[in-house]
Chains A and B, each alone.
Chain A
Amino acid sequence: MVFRRATLKDIPAIMKFIDLHWKKNHIISRNRSFFEWQYVMDQEVNFVIALNEEDTIVGINGFIPYNHLAVPDIAGSIWKVVRTDNPILGLQLSEVLCNIIPRRFVSAPGLSRRAYLIEKYSHNPLGELAHYYIQAPKTCYHIAHFPMYEDTRYLPIPKNMSFRQITDVVDFEEALQSIPLEDSIPYKDEWYYVRRFWNHPVYHYEIYQVSYHQKKLLYVTREVEANGAKALKLVEVLGDYEMISYTGGELRQLLCQKGYEFVDLYSYGVPDDVLKKAGFQWCDPKGEVIVPNYFEPYVCENIPLYFTTNSHELLTNPHFHLFRADGDQDRPS
């Protein structure tokens, strides 16, 4: 068995492996340009692979860097092995990734149920993203399930605070430069944000900027559709989280203007109190309210999003934040 980092020449075989052994006809296996957007960086392929004696791939383990540093923070991605005579192939592949890929912190939401079980019973650091939503006032809902319309109180936006959509990449870059990105864990640099959200090959993200004097807050959003209705996903929030408290009114305006059923946010590390001040409500995964998260295909269920990291201390670090769009999440299928 040979373990090594994949090269550009391995891409067709990796895509075929994904199609055969991970998910049939997934965009990662059928669309080379999307694969490269997701996994190729500076001509390097972000997979480690295991090859058998016939030089056939029998295991893959992907990762996604959050920045361009020599020792970046990374997100784990597809981890899949086929059955072989080697009973610890999956574990070895994971160890090889740790050994040959320099990284500071590893963290991303979207653990598979199997990976979750391994991490849980191995006592590795595990967490769950909190799920919050604001419900639009409607008489019936086609995406979410709300037993009734429940209005919530929210703080008004202060004088001199502005809320506007960013429509020019230069404005987006300027906004990013005014936010101390390096303070956050994982550290996502300007390159990451522009590529991830502005230059996404399939999805269209809309970005809203909240400004108050020198302070900035950015909401990255994506519209989703199902059953002839629409909703808004807040997939990433960056900047001064205290400012979230004052955006409840503006988010409600967006809901009404665009006919969304709800806006929701999965996050770890964003203080609950600022979300509640904006009128967000916590979505109990086992509760009566259902705020769906899967749209390709649509699934009318509450979906808990779990993550693991390589540091127990990170779970209580106030600079550690994760969102729905981190790692390989919020991608087309």
Chain B
Amino acid sequence: MNYEEKMEFLTDVFEADEDLTEATVLEELDTWDSVAVLSIIALLDDKFGKNMSAAEIRTCSTVADLLAIMC
């Protein structure tokens, strides 16, 4: 997954009407909920072979943090 694909994925996950940026604070998104976390867990497992817990993903505070674990 390249950078654009990751951002497109996160835009869909957060149902973001406006473009997300790396600086976007997750706590400010209404859709930073368990469904979003579940989507990210599934993606990490499928695309990157990572098995991360919901609690670990919850420690991310910005979109940049999420991008950092998507590798």
Contact surface of A with B, Cβ cutoff 8 Å: 79-84, 86-91, 113-115, 117-118, 120-123
Contacts and interface: CB of A to CB of B under 8 A. Distances in A.
Contacts of B13: 114, 117
Nearest to A116: B12
B24 interface: no
Nearest to A112: B15
B26 to A, nearest CB: 10
Contacts of A123: 46
B70 to A, nearest CB: 12
Contacts of B57: 87
Interface in B25-54: 30-39, 42-43, 45-47, 54
B55 interface: yes
B9 A91 contact: no
A118 B54 contact: no
B6 interface: no
A186 to B, nearest CB: 25
Given A118-B39, A120-B42, 12 more contacts: A79-B35, A83-B32, A86-B34, A87-B57, A90-B33, A114-B39, A117-B9, A118-B42, A121-B46, A122-B42, A122-B45, A122-B46
A121 B45 contact: yes
Contacts, number: 62
Interface of B: 9, 12-13, 15, 30-39, 42-43, 45-47, 54-55, 57-58
Given A87-B58, A123-B46, A117 B34 contact: no
A88 B46 CA distance: 18
Contacts of A89: 33-34
A114 B15 CA distance: 8
- Most chain B C-beta atoms within 10 Å of own C-beta, residue among A79, A90, A121: A121
B15 A117 contact: no
A117 B6 CA distance: 12
Contacts of B38: 88, 90-91, 118
A113 B42 contact: no
A81 B42 contact: no
Given A87-B54, A87-B58, A117 B33 contact: no
B55 A117 contact: no
- Which one of B12, B13, B38 has the highest number of Cβ atoms from chain A below 10 Å of its Cβ? B38
Contact of A87 (B12, B34, B45, B47): B34
A83 B12 contact: no
Contacts of A87: 34, 37, 54-55, 57-58
A122 B46 CA distance: 7
B34 A114 contact: no
Nearest to A115: B35
A104 B36 CA distance: 28
Contact of B36 (A80, A86, A114, A121): A114
Contacts of B54: 87-88
A88 B15 contact: no
Contacts of A121: 39, 42-43, 45-47
A118 B46 contact: no
A82 B39 CA distance: 15
Nearest to B11: A113
A123 B47 CA distance: 11
B35 A114 contact: yes
26 contacts: A79-B35, A83-B30, A87-B34, A87-B58, A88-B37, A89-B33, A90-B34, A90-B35, A91-B34, A113-B12, A113-B15, A114-B12, A114-B13, A114-B31, A114-B35, A115-B35, A117-B12, A117-B39, A117-B42, A118-B39, A121-B42, A121-B47, A122-B42, A122-B45, A122-B46, A123-B46
